[in-house]
Structure 1
Amino acid sequence: MAANNKPNKLAFLSMPAPASYVAGLGRGASGFTTRSDIGPAREGPSAEVIAEAQARRGEEPEVDPDQFQDPDNEYGLFAGTTYEADDEEADKIYEMVDQNMDARRRVRREARENEELAKHRAERPKIQQQFADLKRRLAQVTDEEWEGIPEVGNLTRKKRKKDERSFVVSDSVIVGDRARTEYETSLDSHQQSTGGFETPADNGTLTNFAEMSQARDKILSLKLDQVSGTATSGLQTSIDPKGYLTSLDSVVLKTDAEIGDIKRARMLFDSLVKSNPKHAPGWIAAARLEEHAGRMVAARKLIKAGCDQCQKSEDIWLEAARLHNNDDAKVILASAVQHVGQSVKIWMAASDLEHDVKAKKRVLRKALEHIPNSVRLWKETVNLESSAQDARILLSRAVEVIPQSVELWLALARLESPDKAKAVLNKARKAIPTSHEIWIAAGRLLEQEAYAAEKTEEQRDKELATVDKTIEAGVRELRRHQVLLTREQWLKEAERCENEGAIRTCEAIIKATVAMDVEEEDRLDTWTGDAEVAEAKGTIGVSRAILAYALRVFPDKKGLWRKAADLEKAHGTRQSLNDILERAVHHCPQAEVLWLMWAKEKWLAGDVPAAREVLERAFVANSESEQIWLAAVKLEAENGELGVAKELLVRARTVADTERIWMKSAVFERQQGQLSNALETLATAIKKYPKFAKLYMIQGQIHQQRKDVAAARASYAAGIKACPKDVNLWILASRLEEADNKSIKARALLDKARLANPGNDVLWAEAVGVEERSGGAAQAKTVLARGLQECPASGLLWSMAIWTEPRPTRKARSADALRKAGNDPWVLCSVARLFWAERKIEQARRWFDRAVAASEQPADTWGDIWAWWLKFERQHGTKEQQEEVVKKAVAAEPRYGPTWQPIAKDVANIRKSRKEILELTAEALH
Structure 2
Amino acid sequence: MSKRPNKLAFLTQVAPSGYVPGLGRGASGFTTRSDIGPAREGPSAEVIAEAQAKRGEEIEPDPEQYQDPDNETGLFAGMVYEADDEEADKIYEAVDAKMDERRKARREAREAELLATSRAERPKIQAQFADLKRGLSAVSDAEWENLPDVGNLTGKRRKLNPREGRAYVVPDSILVGDRDKAGFVNALDPMQQANGGFETPANGDGMADLLGISQARDKVLSLKLDQISRDSATSGTSTSIDPKGYLTSLDNEVLKTDAEIGDIKKARMLFDSLVKSNPNHAPGWIAAACIEEHAGRMVTARKIIKAGCEQCPKNEDIWLEAARLHNTNDAKVILANAARHLDQSVKIWMAAANLETDLKAKKKVLRTAVEHIPKSVRLWKEVVNMEGSPEEARIILARAVQVIPQSVELWLALARLEEPKAARGVLNRARKEVPTSHEIWIAAGRLLEQEAMRPDRDPKERQKELDSIDRTIEAGVKALRQHQVLLTRDQWMKEAEKCENEGSPRTCEAIIKATIAMEIEEEDRYDTWMADAQAELARNQIGTARAILAYALKVFPGEKALWRSAADLEKAHGTRESLDDLLTQAVSNCPRAETLWLMLAKEKWLAGDVPGARLVLHQAFDANLESEQIWLAAVKLEVENDEIVAAREILKRATSVAGTERIWMKAAVFERQQGLLEAALDTVKTALNKYPKFAKFYMIKGQIEHSKGHIAAARATYAAGIKACPKDVRLWILASRLEEADNKRTMARALLNKARLANRADELLWVEAVQLEERAGAPNQAKTNLAKALQECPTSGLLWSMSIMAEPRPARRGKSVDALKKVGDKNALILCTAARLFWAERKVEKAREWFARAVKVDSDQGDVWAWWMKFELEHGTAEYQQRVIEQCIVAEPHHGFVWPSVAKDPANARKGTKEILLLVAQQLH
**TM-score, with length taken from structure 2:** 0.76
- Give, in whole Å, the separation in 1 of the partners of 2:269 and 2:197: 51
Q: How does 1:220-259 map to 2 (within 5 A)?
A: 220-225=225-230, 228=232, 230-231=234-235, 234=236, 250-259=252-261
For the Cα contact (< 8 Å) 2:369–2:379, is it kept in 1? yes
- Give, in whole Å, the separation in 2 of the partners of 1:529 and 1:184: 111
- Indicate the residue corresponding to 2:685 in structure 1: 683
- Give, in whole Å, the separation in 1 of the partners of 2:752 and 2:292: 88
- Give, in whole Å, the separation in 2 of the partners of 1:746 and 1:607: 51
By how many angstroms is 1:299 displaced? 1.8
Aligned residue-pair number: 736
For the Cα contact (< 8 Å) 1:230–1:236, is it kept in 2? no
Give the letter for the 1:346 counterpart: I
Q: Deviations over 1:323-379 (max 9, x none)?
A: 111111111111111111111000011111112222222211211222111000111
- Say which of 829, 832, 843 aligns to 2:832: 829
- Indicate the residue corresponding to 1:799 in structure 2: 801
Q: How does 1:845-864 map to 2 (within 5 A)?
A: 845-854=848-857, 859-864=858-863
- Say which of 413, 416, 430 aligns to 2:415: 413
- Indicate the residue corresponding to 1:712 in structure 2: 714
- Give, in whole Å, the separation in 2 of the partners of 1:287 and 1:626: 88
CA, structure 1 residues 590+547, in 2 after alignment: closer, same or farther (shift >3 Å)? Answer: same
CA, structure 1 residues 874+246, in 2 after alignment: closer, same or farther (shift >3 Å)? Answer: farther
For the Cα contact (< 8 Å) 2:567–2:579, is it kept in 1? yes
- Give, in whole Å, the separation in 2 of the partners of 1:215 and 1:346: 47
For the Cα contact (< 8 Å) 1:320–1:332, is it kept in 2? yes
For the Cα contact (< 8 Å) 1:511–1:545, is it kept in 2? yes
- Give, in whole Å, the separation in 2 of the partners of 1:325 and 1:796: 74
By how many angstroms is 1:273 displaced? 2.3
For the Cα contact (< 8 Å) 1:429–1:438, is it kept in 2? yes
For the Cα contact (< 8 Å) 2:225–2:241, is it kept in 1? no
Question: Which piece of structure 1 moves more, 279-288 or 570-579?
Answer: 279-288
By how many angstroms is 1:289 displaced? 2.4
Question: Considering only aligned residues, what root-mean-square deviation do their CA atoms show, in Å?
Answer: 2.7
- Give, in whole Å, the separation in 1 of the partners of 2:680 and 2:184: 129
By how many angstroms is 1:316 displaced? 1.0
Q: How does 1:555-594 map to 2 (within 5 A)?
A: 555-594=557-596
Give the letter for the 2:318 counterpart: I
Q: Deviations over 1:673-712 (max 9, x none)?
A: 1111110110000010111111111111101111111111
Question: Which piece of structure 1 moves more, 718-727 or 500-509?
Answer: 718-727
Does the residue aligned with 1:411 lie in a helix, a strand or coil?
helix
- Indicate the residue corresponding to 2:893 in structure 1: 894
- Give, in whole Å, the separation in 2 of the partners of 1:356 and 1:777: 85
By how many angstroms is 1:410 displaced? 0.6
Does the residue aligned with 1:839 lie in a helix, a strand or coil?
coil
2:615 matched to 1:613?
A: yes
2:890 matched to 1:885?
A: no
By how many angstroms is 1:173 displaced? 8.8
CA, structure 1 residues 325+432, in 2 after alignment: closer, same or farther (shift >3 Å)? Answer: same
By how many angstroms is 1:256 displaced? 4.1
For the Cα contact (< 8 Å) 1:229–1:297, is it kept in 2? no
2:753 matched to 1:754?
A: no
Q: Deviations over 1:291-326 (max 9, x none)?
A: 233222222112111111111111111111111111
Q: Deviations over 1:652-675 (max 9, x none)?
A: 111111111111111011011111
CA, structure 1 residues 684+620, in 2 after alignment: closer, same or farther (shift >3 Å)? Answer: same
By how many angstroms is 1:170 displaced? 11
By how many angstroms is 1:415 displaced? 1.3
- Give, in whole Å, the separation in 1 of the partners of 2:457 and 2:217: 95
By how many angstroms is 1:244 displaced? 6.8
Give the letter for the 2:792 counterpart: E
For the Cα contact (< 8 Å) 2:226–2:243, is it kept in 1? no
CA, structure 1 residues 260+212, in 2 after alignment: closer, same or farther (shift >3 Å)? Answer: farther
Give the letter for the 2:696 counterpart: K
Q: Deviations over 1:855-896 (max 9, x none)?
A: xxxx21111110101111112222111111111111111112
- Indicate the residue corresponding to 2:403 in structure 1: 401
By how many angstroms is 1:452 displaced? 2.6
CA, structure 1 residues 333+705, in 2 after alignment: closer, same or farther (shift >3 Å)? Answer: same
Does the residue aligned with 1:860 lie in a helix, a strand or coil?
coil
For the Cα contact (< 8 Å) 1:475–1:512, is it kept in 2? yes
- Give, in whole Å, the separation in 2 of the partners of 1:449 and 1:175: 117
Q: How does 1:105-124 map to 2 (within 5 A)?
A: none
Q: How does 1:271-420 map to 2 (within 5 A)?
A: 271-420=273-422
For the Cα contact (< 8 Å) 1:498–1:506, is it kept in 2? yes
CA, structure 1 residues 606+250, in 2 after alignment: closer, same or farther (shift >3 Å)? Answer: farther
CA, structure 1 residues 236+268, in 2 after alignment: closer, same or farther (shift >3 Å)? Answer: closer
- Give, in whole Å, the separation in 2 of the partners of 1:697 and 1:351: 87
- Give, in whole Å, the separation in 2 of the partners of 1:171 and 1:561: 118
Q: How does 1:193-212 map to 2 (within 5 A)?
A: none
- Give, in whole Å, the separation in 2 of the partners of 1:360 and 1:184: 80
- Give, in whole Å, the separation in 2 of the partners of 1:361 and 1:210: 58
Give the letter for the 2:526 counterpart: L
2:426 matched to 1:424?
A: yes
- Give, in whole Å, the separation in 2 of the partners of 1:747 and 1:907: 28
By how many angstroms is 1:277 displaced? 2.0
2:538 matched to 1:539?
A: no
Q: Deviations over 1:835-854 (max 9, x none)?
A: 11112222211111111111
2:821 matched to 1:819?
A: yes
- Give, in whole Å, the separation in 2 of the partners of 1:520 and 1:241: 86
By how many angstroms is 1:184 displaced? 10
Does the residue aligned with 2:234 lie in a helix, a strand or coil?
coil
For the Cα contact (< 8 Å) 2:375–2:403, is it kept in 1? yes
- Give, in whole Å, the separation in 2 of the partners of 1:419 and 1:688: 76
Show structure 1 runs of 5+ residues with no match. Answer: 1-168, 177-182, 199-207
By how many angstroms is 1:186 displaced? 6.5
By how many angstroms is 1:235 displaced? 5.6
- Indicate the residue corresponding to 1:785 in structure 2: 787
By how many angstroms is 1:247 displaced? 6.0
Q: Deviations over 1:778-821 (max 9, x none)?
A: 22222222222221111111111111222222111111111111
Does the residue aligned with 1:851 lie in a helix, a strand or coil?
helix
Give the letter for the 2:606 counterpart: L
Show structure 2 runs of 5+ residues with no match. Answer: 1-177, 186-195
- Give, in whole Å, the separation in 2 of the partners of 1:185 and 1:608: 126
- Indicate the residue corresponding to 2:867 in structure 1: 868
Does the residue aligned with 1:230 lie in a helix, a strand or coil?
helix
- Give, in whole Å, the separation in 1 of the partners of 2:183 and 2:893: 102
Does the residue aligned with 2:746 lie in a helix, a strand or coil?
helix
- Give, in whole Å, the separation in 2 of the partners of 1:283 and 1:222: 32
CA, structure 1 residues 331+629, in 2 after alignment: closer, same or farther (shift >3 Å)? Answer: same
- Give, in whole Å, the separation in 1 of the partners of 2:888 and 2:547: 31
- Indicate the residue corresponding to 2:93 in structure 1: none
Question: Which piece of structure 1 moves more, 683-692 or 528-537?
Answer: 528-537
Q: Deviations over 1:157-183 (max 9, x none)?
A: xxxxxxxxxxxx99949999xxxxxx9
For the Cα contact (< 8 Å) 1:414–1:421, is it kept in 2? yes
- Give, in whole Å, the separation in 2 of the partners of 1:785 and 1:551: 55
- Give, in whole Å, the separation in 1 of the partners of 2:751 and 2:469: 72
For the Cα contact (< 8 Å) 1:870–1:885, is it kept in 2? yes
Give the letter for the 1:828 counterpart: L
Q: Deviations over 1:409-465 (max 9, x none)?
A: 111111112122112111111111111101100111111111235222221111110
- Give, in whole Å, the separation in 1 of the partners of 2:280 and 2:182: 67
Give the letter for the 1:890 counterpart: I
CA, structure 1 residues 560+175, in 2 after alignment: closer, same or farther (shift >3 Å)? Answer: farther
Give the letter for the 1:570 counterpart: A
- Give, in whole Å, the separation in 2 of the partners of 1:849 and 1:242: 65
CA, structure 1 residues 171+917, in 2 after alignment: closer, same or farther (shift >3 Å)? Answer: farther
CA, structure 1 residues 543+249, in 2 after alignment: closer, same or farther (shift >3 Å)? Answer: farther
Q: How does 1:33-72 map to 2 (within 5 A)?
A: none
For the Cα contact (< 8 Å) 1:671–1:907, is it kept in 2? yes
For the Cα contact (< 8 Å) 2:237–2:299, is it kept in 1? no
By how many angstroms is 1:222 displaced? 4.9
- Indicate the residue corresponding to 1:627 in structure 2: 629
